[in-house]
Amino acid sequence: MAADTITLSLDQIRELALTTLKANGCNDENASAVAETITTAERDGSSSHGLFRLPGYVASLKSGKANGSAKPSVSRPKPAVVLVDNDYGFAPLGIVAGRDELIDAARSQGIAFMALVNSHHFAALWHEVEPLCDAGLCAFACTAHTASVAPAGGKKKLFSTNPVAFGWPRKDQPPVVFDMATAAMARGEIMLAARDGHDVPLGAGLDANGNPTQDPNAILDGGVQLPFGGYKGSAIALMVELLAAALIGERFSYEATEADNKDGGPARGGEFILAIDPSTTAGEGWLGHSEGLFGKMLAMDGVRLPGDRRYGNRAKSQHQGVAVPAELIEKHNALSKWTCQ
Ligand code: NDP
């Protein structure tokens, strides 16, 4: 155990998250859904979206921005459209509430999407696509939140870090999943660099004067993040704004920023989740066909499939637990009166 970390089992992480959320205004159902997301994030090494986010969830419960007793309602306005009104709760419960309906719609129609509205998203997106892949579907998800990224060529915040995730099922193996911010760096990663006193790579953002900087604090305090890959990442970020806001009647990132109470938790926004049944067009054998491509990739030195780092962490953390910064645990103890045993 490193001096500044404490190793927790996955059960301890779940209990810490549950206790903290319930002590701060979440009912059992909402707390369980968020705690599961936090625990599986820690399990997979997605630490920027694990326990690190718990104080933000708590802040939004305390300020009354998020509804800790949300009851998501699921409807099917068209055969291929699943609408989940999340009742201003945190996204994990709404996503689970609409998932079976989305799977059913994709299987019967060949393709379907979920529009998640009136929701507060504060997590990684692989949580959304992996279960759809486990059901034999190809999946895509994206969400927008608050403005922190300048469009290519600009120096002012307009887009959020607008993450996108894509998943493809594999034969007898966990799916191929990529899940990434369309900013050069996820904001959570910049916050972790600021917390740990590290520089960030050039290209991650500009300071308050619009100059390139490697100082994470200069980007976070009055500066702006940049999209990855210049105009290409910027175009994908634009697509996310249109799918996760314009298409489903939710807020653009800049609108969410204007409406947000700045409590440090997730702003209200929407999420777009697409599911496609490959057998509709590719027929039987589609799984084996894609395995051929993955095999070619893996035969090359230095190549791995996206998602495999997480699956490696997953295999280890089930037995070894997860090293969590002691300072973070202290913070949660204060919020929940939870004591690590
Ligand atoms: P990374 O840049 O760390 O990783 C992006 C993707 O690339 C991952 O799927 C990763 O797979 C894959 N990858 C990384 N290296 C390689 C490699 N050498 N070969 C093949 N694949 C590779 O992610 P980001 O920092 O951009 O995003 C981190 C998280 O932040 C995401 O989960 C995202 O959803 C979340 N986020 C959430 C937001 C929200 O509003 N809720 C906003 C922005 C981001 P692997 O995991 O296996 O390494």
**Mean pLDDT of all residues belonging to the chain:** 95
Instruction: Give the pLDDT mean for 324-338.
Output: 82
Q: State the closest ligand 1 atom to the C-alpha of 125, by its place in the atom list counted from 1.
A: 34
Q: Where are the domains of the chain?
A: 1-63+307-341, 72-183+227-303
Burial class (CB in 10 A: 0-12, 13-18, 19+), 134: middle
CB-ligand 1 contact for 49 (6 Å cutoff): yes
Lowest-pLDDT range, 134-138, 213-217, 322-326? 322-326
Residue 30 CA to chain centroid, in angstroms? 17
In the reported structure, the alpha carbon of residue 166 is separated from the centroid of ligand 1 by a whole-number distance in angstroms of: 11
Question: Using CA atoms in the order 19, 21, 24, 26, what is the torsion angle rounded to 10 degrees?
Answer: -120
- Give strand pairing partners of 82: 114
Percent of the chain's residues with pLDDT above 90 = 91
Look at domain 72-183+227-303 and name its CATH class.
alpha beta
Q: Report residue 183: phi and psi, to 5°.
A: -80, 160
What fold is seen in the domain 1-63+307-341?
Answer: Hypothetical Oxidoreductase Yiak; Chain: A, domain 1 (1.10.1530)
Distance 114 CA to ligand 1 centre (A): 22
**pLDDT for res 339:** 52
| Tens-digit pLDDT profile for residues 155-198 | 999 999 999 999 999 999 999 999 999 999 988 889 989 998 99
Whether 309 lines ligand 1, by a CB cut-off of 6 Å, is yes
Question: Does 1-63+307-341 match 72-183+227-303 in CATH topology?
Answer: no
Query: Does any ligand 1 atom lie closer than 6 A to the CB of residue 294?
Result: no
State the pLDDT confidence band at 335, using cuts at 50, 70 and 90: confident
Which of the residues are catalytic? 48-49, 189
